[in-house]
Amino acid sequence: MPKVIYVEHNGTRHQVEVPVGLSVMRGALDNLVPGIDADCGGECACATCHVYVDPAWLARTGTRGEMEQSMLGVAAMTRDNSRLACQIAMSEALDGLLVTMPEGQH
């Protein structure tokens, strides 16, 4: 099963197995990873699952959709590598994916 490495803003790392087809957000919630609140439940209607995707992985996570881009517009501290974890579906190709949560999410 592919793994995601979630890094809290303070550097604490959580390596979690996330089944193929589930979102990076769901993997965090199911494993109680701090920093991913997912207030909307993964409906791309908030930005509380905002993550920074490590640049080495960014191309493999796909492109932002229009709704995701809109939601990131209201997120704090966005960067070029900002994504909503609810919009990244796990696949074998993402085994080892590294994401970091912004400081404002903890």
Name 53's Cβ contacts closer than 8 Å, sequence gap at least 6: 61, 81, 82, 83, 88, 97, 98, 99
19: in domain: yes
106 band by pLDDT with thresholds 50, 70 and 90: low
105: in domain: no
User: Domain span at residue 83?
Assistant: 3-100
106: in domain: no
88: in domain: yes
43: in domain: yes
Q: What value does the mean pLDDT take over residues 84-95?
A: 97
| Calpha distance 28→18 (Å, rounded) | 8
Q: Are 72 and 47 in contact (CB under 8 A)?
A: yes
CATH of the domain at 82: 3.10.20.30
To which residue do tokens 């909503």 refer?
84
* Full-model pTM: 0.94
* Number of compact structural domains in the chain: 1
| Calpha distance 87→94 (Å, rounded) | 13
Q: What is the mean pLDDT of the chain?
A: 95
Q: Mind listing the pLDDT tens digit for each residue in 19-67? A: 999 999 999 999 999 999 999 999 999 999 999 999 999 999 999 999 9
- Residue 43 structure tokens: 């409906």
As a whole number of angstroms, the longest Cα–Cα distance in the chain is: 33
58: in domain: yes
